[in-house]
Amino acid sequence: MTLPDAFLDIARRVNNWGRWGPDDEIGTLNLITDEVVRAAAATVRSGRRVPLAVPLRQDGVQTGMIPGRVNPLRTMVALNLEMFGPGTIATSDDVVTLGLQAGTHWDGLTHVSHSGRIYNGRPADTVTAHSGAEFSGIEKVSSLVSRGVLLDVAAALGVDRLPGGHAVTPEDLDAAEELAGTKVRAGDIVLVRTGQIQAYLGGDKQAYAYPSPGLSIRTPEWFHARDVAAVANDTLTFEIFPPEVEDLWLPVHGLDLVEMGMLQGQNWNLEGLAAACAEAGRREFWLDATPEPFVGGAGAPVAPVAVL
């Protein structure tokens, strides 16, 4: 079996293999230049900070449907322990087990492969059980700071939350860009709001997981045309799920990560940001979203903060 033309045609158009040389491991992050960062700093006006991470807890967003992607289990290994004797300073320490893609996270470029290949045409089997990703591991990201732009699709379409079956199209992104009042440009980190995370915040994890609105297979070309550095949203699956095209699973993952070499973010809480942006009357901001540098990681948790 091979992937259908519906996928392969777009793949050819958004492919970035070799664009930054045969040794490149970070893809579209190359688009974040010092100049881009300087311009991003200029978007800080009020100094208001908005955190975008969902708190990491055992009752996290995972429902158990994705095997092994376990919610965080944090426990104490020391608890007010007076290790130097009674009456001394006591210490508390904790340890955690979690799926790297369990909470608010970035998918690393090796999170998916297709036809035996990962980004930049490397063999998929360069990811191994014992070492993880030899190339393009999440630690290669090193830093991820740029201008953030909120594309509030829900607001642009006049709803609080997109319905489960809604595929976010290029036209939707156009409308949200219009609402944002700024043109998405090279090196931006784009945050696409669907409102779907309200289901999780409201206590219904199943409804959050499935069915989910999300990015259409047609969006990678939109991001590619604008040379976006990375895209995140407020869903578990990033792309519309179940998929638009029958039997074509995770096509957006394949296009964004493998072909373009562009990081995807999931489970970002964009509710507070949407409110802050609406209040401020602008949807561009400084965004710091550097993932934890797990060596060889196919992804990593991130605690993103927008500064308006």
- Minimum distance between the CB of residue 141 and a copy of itself, rounded to whole angstroms? 9
- Minimum distance between the CB of residue 285 and a copy of itself, rounded to whole angstroms? 11
- Residue 154 or residue 253: which is nearer to a copy of itself going by CB? 253
- Residue 195 or residue 301: which is nearer to a copy of itself going by CB? 301
Rg (alpha carbons) of the chain, rounded to whole number = 20
- Residue 154 or residue 199: which is nearer to a copy of itself going by CB? 199
CA diameter of the chain: 71
CA distance 268 to 281: 21
DSSP run (H or E) holding 140: none
**Residue 95: partners with Cβ closer than 8 Å, 6 or more residues away:** 74, 75, 77
- Minimum distance between the CB of residue 247 and a copy of itself, rounded to whole angstroms? 8
DSSP 120: G
Q: Is 266 in the site for a copy of itself (CB under 8 A)?
A: no
* Identified binder of a copy of itself from the candidate list 5, 93, 158, 281, rule CB under 8 A: 93
- Minimum distance between the CB of residue 296 and a copy of itself, rounded to whole angstroms? 7
* Identified binder of a copy of itself from the candidate list 65, 96, 159, 201, rule CB under 8 A: 96
- Number of other CB atoms surrounding residue 270 within 10 Å: 26
Q: Is 79 in the site for a copy of itself (CB under 8 A)?
A: yes
Nearest to 267 by CA among 209, 308, 181: 209
Report in angstroms the alpha-carbon separations of 227 from 58, 93, 109, 181, 201: 37, 43, 16, 18, 32
Q: Is 101 in the site for a copy of itself (CB under 8 A)?
A: yes
Nearest to 177 by CA among 202, 211, 196, 150: 150
Is 259 strand, coil or helix?
Answer: helix
Which range touches a copy of itself (CB under 8 A), out of 88-96, 170-178, 194-202, 229-237? 88-96
Binding string, residues 20-49; x marks residues near a copy of itself by CB under 8 A: -------------xxxxxx--x--xxxxxx
What are the residues facing 2 on neighbouring strands? none
DSSP run (H or E) holding 74: strand 73-81
- The residues in 145-184 that bind a copy of itself, with binding defined as CB under 8 A, are 145
* Identified binder of a copy of itself from the candidate list 65, 165, 249, 279, rule CB under 8 A: 249
- Residue 162 or residue 300: which is nearer to a copy of itself going by CB? 300
Q: Is 210 in the site for a copy of itself (CB under 8 A)?
A: no
Contact 153, 169 (CB under 8 A): no
- Minimum distance between the CB of residue 173 and a copy of itself, rounded to whole angstroms? 22
DSSP run (H or E) holding 302: none
* Identified binder of a copy of itself from the candidate list 21, 87, 158, 281, rule CB under 8 A: 87
- Minimum distance between the CB of residue 174 and a copy of itself, rounded to whole angstroms? 27
Binding string, residues 120-149; x marks residues near a copy of itself by CB under 8 A: ----xx-xxxx-xx-----x--xxxx----
Contact 230, 189 (CB under 8 A): yes
Q: Is 278 in the site for a copy of itself (CB under 8 A)?
A: no
